[in-house]
Amino acid sequence: MCAALEEAEKGGGLENVDEHHRRRWVKAFEACDEDMKGYLNREDYKVAVVMLFGYKPSKVEVDSVMASVKQSQSGVSLEEFVKLMSAKKPAHFYCSEVRQLFTVFDRQCKGFLSFEDFKKAFSIVAPKLPERIIIEAFREVDQDSDGHISFRDFESAMNYGQDDLSALP
């Protein structure tokens, strides 16, 4: 077992997390803590979330996490990271079909779809669709017009009209 995991276990914060997820979170932490500082800064944390959950956390989410870190630290320790990830697990780990589909299209694990990713997905699903339709669809799905489709944008598009269908008998 790695030294960082042993140290975190001594702190007592990991007892309710199953071993498989714990190992995965520790691996992500260690991969993102390239300088072996013992903590993740803002950018490291964002990369770790993308690696584990397939989406780039919002500025608000990262600000909230960084504000919760002890004043004496420069970032999120392994123990805190595992606690944060275990809180995210119920909401994100058991991926919906939409999450799985997004992950398939996000081949480079960037946490968003570029226009090229979107176009490639359409070439597989609907190869004869004119490019102007793909451009219009991309603009429609990219709700904040930042040139990228986040998971939230994608999920919103995939769920469009579902509320209307649930009212049907």
What average pLDDT values come out for the chain (169 residues) when binned by 10 residues? 36 56 90 91 90 81 84 82 79 59 83 91 87 93 92 82 47
Q: pLDDT at position 40, please?
A: 93
Q: How far is CA 130 from the centre of its chain?
A: 31
Q: pLDDT at position 102, please?
A: 85
pTM: 0.48
Query: What domains, with CATH codes, occur in the chain?
Result: 3-92 (1.10.238.10), 97-166 (1.10.238.10)
118 within 8 A of 124, measured Cβ to Cβ: no
Q: pLDDT at position 141, please?
A: 92
